[in-house]
Structure 1
Amino acid sequence: MPSTPPSPGPHRRRLGFALALLAFAQLVIALDFNIVYVALPEIGRALGFSAQSLQWVVSAYAVAFGGFLLLGGRAADLLGRRRVFAAALALYAVSSLVGGLASGPGLLVAARAVQGVGGALLFPATLSLVNTMFAEGAERNRALAVWGGAGASGLCLGSLLGGVLTDAFGWTSVFCVNVPLAGVAALLAFALIPRDPARERGRGVDLPGAVTATAGVTLLVFALVRGPDAGWGSPTVVGCLVAAAALLAAFAVIESRAWDPLMPLRLFANRSLRAGMAITFIFMGTFSALPYFLTLYFQNVHGYSPLQTGLGFLVPSLVIAVGTQVGERMVGRLDVRATLLTGLVLGAVGTAGLALGMSTDGSYLALLPGIVVFCLGQGVTWTGMWIAAASGVDHREQGVASGMASTTQQVGGAIGLAVLVALANSRLHGLTGEALRRELTGGVRTAVLVAAAGMVLGALVALTFRTRAHGTVEPAVAADAFEPAIARHED
């Protein structure tokens, strides 16, 4: 007798469990952006980092993450999203363990770079799984809101967790905590995520495109990270920028001629994707830079301990999570453009209020209204921008589209942070004591106000987004994706 088709109930439950796993993976990625900030002073003392080299605990991760995102996105499309997802989590767990056991600066920086590669494989695989497992429209929007809530909150929750762990267990704990988290998630992938379909024949890796894109973006991010310390006119920085420009120009030529390119240039014809990429660039250079300056303000101006600093990020984490859900409802009731405009305007207003609340003798309560408003805007924007980037993209190219959007996100973060740090530190040379606190407060306030101006620019970009995206996707893949997995599970 023919078997009875699975009922919608088990199908929905499996989708829910899979989404929870994907959101958890995104939380792990997001946590790692900020979890080490609070632990940096202790890491520097324990491993003998110099003041100049300590930044590479953060920068090594950022450079590798940004450089390998396009390759990670294409790997997910070609090799299978579940395979890449699980392999990336395993790489994340191993590199985190090595980082936690590191006894010197070199090994820790190398482990952080490998973590960055793991993140570059994991992020587009995770996002493309969400975009292919859920049908475009209300279903995908709800899924992106859950996934986005985990990611956006993780950017602030990282500082909270970093403070708690460092205060209780020391700096090694901010790395070792990833080992069980990523390891268990990698194992659960095979139970909760459907098996990858058979690879399409005739498709292969665009090796020249992969090499030029990865090298070009890596050198670009390296130069942007290195520039504020070494000076923008230094031979190393200028050389990296020139080499990056040449490699990326070569990449564009290669992609225009390749039969099966790493990044099909026709994707740039998708207006929604272009707008989403631009807003992810601005988002990372503005919203996501603010935890760095809040950490600086809390610890260096007001003398907060790592635990106090971490607790200061509890409210932002909760409000951002609320904002992502508000964003999903706004997309359903209004449209993506209105959602993005609302989030970016809220962010600009709240960030300006945050800057006005900063002073050498100020309090956390003075910052709270600005924090609540800008974090609400951050959550709304985060959900809206990923919906925009996924709209109208064929399911077979969701990985590379995710890689494109997340690459602009990382480059935007590197540029934004470099510019804002330069502004904040422009008048600190040679100062100590009260004079240093006063000038640091003024510098941080200036950087935060410039970030608010960047959010206004993002709102102008959002006006270019069309309420109806061009292009089509294949929603049936969302409905069919779990059928083999359900059948195997029931057997």
Structure 2
Amino acid sequence: MSSITSPAAGRRRPAATLALLAFAQLIISLDYNIVYVALPGIGSGLGFSAQDLQWVVSAYAVAFGGFLLLGGRASDLFGPRRLFAAGLGLYAVSSLLGGLAGSAAVLVGARALQGVGGALLFPATLTLVSTCFAEGRERNRAFAVWGTAGGSGMILGSLLGGVLTDVFGWEAVFFVNVPLAGAAALLAFKLIAPDGPRTGGRSMDVAGAVTSTIGVTAVVFALVQGPESGWLSPVVLTAALAGAVLLAAFLTVERRSTDPLMPLRLFTNRNLSVGTVVTFLYMGTFGTLMYFLTVYFQGVHGYDALTTGLAFLVPMAAIAVGSQGAGRLATRFGIRPVLVAALAVGGLGTVTVALSMATDASYAALIPGLLVLGIGQGAGYTLMFGAAALGVAPADQGIASGVASTSQQVGGAVGLALLVAVANASLDGLGGGTLRAATNDGLRTAMLIAAAGIAATALVALGLGKRRTTRVAERRVETGDRAVTHV
């Protein structure tokens, strides 16, 4: 197998290495949201139909979700630095293609290629954070910085997208990634320790790779397309059925394989199993809130793209505070209690924001709720991936990261589909002030349901291993014991 970077390997320039990993996460987060405010310009510039315009966003989400397991195992087999640089290089090339696109089809293809780049980059980045920094205070701090970049980048993407679109046109939201991703790819070879040589005769599980990639892609496609085409439409039902069959085949392949893509023994690790569920629920609740706030700002109060981006500066600052505080608190008290508390705080903030939403409400009325929500959201995002990584052997960190991040993508798609249906349930045939009031009511209901889901997520997080048993698992992994203690 490929030798994985050890904690000592990143010590030559630990601060610079961490800054690069956080910057890569910032690029991923920016790219996820930066196109939203540019969609009207993209639609008119390239002749998208109203129905097809969603694929500027969906092509990225489908490819990202579908290739994450493959990207995670490739990181283990070929080395996280190689996959980190490859993912960034693919981001740069696909972003250039997107900016130069002269047709709708080319742009959708470029967005799908960006998604594949993200599927290589995200698990590689998580693996490097988990293996370049020692368990405990050092790793908690690294995840805090990484989480701050991720959480802030999602909001910064909305602001930057508004500015670039207004000043330079929609193409700029793609071109901006080219120098950023290209420079980060080059710096990887300078700042991250080289991957060790491949040894031990391990190979890629081709059957597992094919069934998992196509199966997850089909499921994510069905989840993304369902609200647009109807959940009972032939294309959605066919994709969902095909995805289910392929994923069942994938599990059969993995049980029989001597060198599986996703070793099923990993799920006997309680932290990974619970952490994966927490990640799914987090994204299905917290991960949808930016969408609903954007609709509230623009659809209820008529904010333009730039003003909407500025409105997100308050939660962005709160997310940064929550992310940084979470790392220090987790070092002192352990991940489980801090994660549960973060989810409880975020749920309270979500309820506060929802109850403050009204057609005649001022932005100032939202600020207390946005601050509380942002602190909980930032802390939760920082800790949930760290929780899933505890007790996982270094050689399996890539696929564990791929599992957690796949659940992130699928959870976000499921949550958004369900909550959008709730928010839009009573809007048909309305107009004017009546439509504004109904939109506000639907958004409030969706956010209150999301808050209930956040409360459920906190209850699930109680299933994480206690600090004492988790430390036993960490010590056994660090000493090279392959019979990892399951907690």
| TM-score, scaled relative to structure 2 | 0.94
| Corresponding residue for residue 463 of structure 2 | 464
Structure 1 portions without partners, runs of 5+: 1-7, 478-491
Residue type at the aligned position of 2:440: T
CA distance in 2, matches of 1:190, 1:325: 28
CA distance in 2, matches of 1:413, 1:217: 14
TM-fit CA distance, 1:102: 1.2
1:193 aligns with 2:181: no
CA distance in 2, matches of 1:344, 1:89: 32
CA distance in 2, matches of 1:444, 1:95: 34
CA distance in 1, matches of 2:25, 2:291: 20
Range 221-230 or range 36-45, more displaced: 36-45
| Corresponding residue for residue 23 of structure 2 | 24
Range 279-288 or range 118-127, more displaced: 279-288
CA distance in 2, matches of 1:32, 1:265: 32
CA distance in 2, matches of 1:293, 1:204: 44
The count of aligned residue pairs is 470
Q: Indicate conservation of the 8 Å contact 2:254/2:264, yes or no.
A: yes
TM-fit CA distance, 1:326: 1.0
Q: Indicate conservation of the 8 Å contact 2:10/2:193, yes or no.
A: no
Aligned 1:427-446 pairs, distance under 5 A: 427-446=426-445
Please state whether the residue corresponding to 1:353 is helix, strand or coil: helix
| Corresponding residue for residue 3 of structure 2 | none
| Corresponding residue for residue 377 of structure 1 | 376
| Corresponding residue for residue 230 of structure 2 | 231
| Corresponding residue for residue 165 of structure 1 | 164
| Corresponding residue for residue 485 of structure 2 | none
| Corresponding residue for residue 13 of structure 2 | 14
| Corresponding residue for residue 4 of structure 2 | none
Q: Indicate conservation of the 8 Å contact 1:92/1:118, yes or no.
A: yes
TM-fit CA distance, 1:414: 0.4
1:389 aligns with 2:385: no
Q: Indicate conservation of the 8 Å contact 2:65/2:410, yes or no.
A: yes
Over residues 99-132 of structure 1, what are the superposed CA-to-partner deviations in whole Å (9 max), with x where a residue is unaligned? 1111221111111000000000000000101111
TM-fit CA distance, 1:430: 2.2
TM-fit CA distance, 1:239: 1.1
TM-fit CA distance, 1:474: 4.3
CA distance in 2, matches of 1:248, 1:136: 34
Over residues 256-311 of structure 1, what are the superposed CA-to-partner deviations in whole Å (9 max), with x where a residue is unaligned? 11011000000000001111111110111111211111111111111111110111
CA distance in 1, matches of 2:14, 2:129: 10
| Corresponding residue for residue 487 of structure 1 | none
Aligned 1:188-337 pairs, distance under 5 A: 188-337=187-336
CA distance in 1, matches of 2:246, 2:347: 36
Q: Indicate conservation of the 8 Å contact 1:124/1:402, yes or no.
A: yes
CA distance in 1, matches of 2:38, 2:154: 15
Q: Indicate conservation of the 8 Å contact 1:65/1:119, yes or no.
A: yes
Aligned 1:41-190 pairs, distance under 5 A: 41-190=40-189
Q: Indicate conservation of the 8 Å contact 2:8/2:133, yes or no.
A: no
Please state whether the residue corresponding to 2:232 is helix, strand or coil: coil
| Corresponding residue for residue 483 of structure 2 | none
| TM-score, scaled relative to structure 1 | 0.93
TM-fit CA distance, 1:170: 1.6
Structure 2 portions without partners, runs of 5+: 1-6, 481-487
CA distance in 1, matches of 2:9, 2:250: 45
Over residues 49-95 of structure 1, what are the superposed CA-to-partner deviations in whole Å (9 max), with x where a residue is unaligned? 11111111111100000000000000111011111110110100010
| Corresponding residue for residue 484 of structure 2 | none
CA 1:230–1:11 in structure 2 vs 1: closer, same or farther (change >3 Å)?
closer
Residue type at the aligned position of 1:209: G
Please state whether the residue corresponding to 2:54 is helix, strand or coil: helix
Range 422-431 or range 112-121, more displaced: 422-431
Residue type at the aligned position of 2:119: A
Please state whether the residue corresponding to 2:391 is helix, strand or coil: coil
Residue type at the aligned position of 1:149: T
Q: Indicate conservation of the 8 Å contact 2:218/2:239, yes or no.
A: yes
| Corresponding residue for residue 350 of structure 2 | 351
Moved over 6 A (4+): 8-11
CA distance in 1, matches of 2:306, 2:431: 25
TM-fit CA distance, 1:475: 3.6
Range 450-459 or range 461-470, more displaced: 461-470
Over residues 181-231 of structure 1, what are the superposed CA-to-partner deviations in whole Å (9 max), with x where a residue is unaligned? 000000000000011101123100000000000011000000000111111
Over residues 161-191 of structure 1, what are the superposed CA-to-partner deviations in whole Å (9 max), with x where a residue is unaligned? 1122222222111111100100000000000
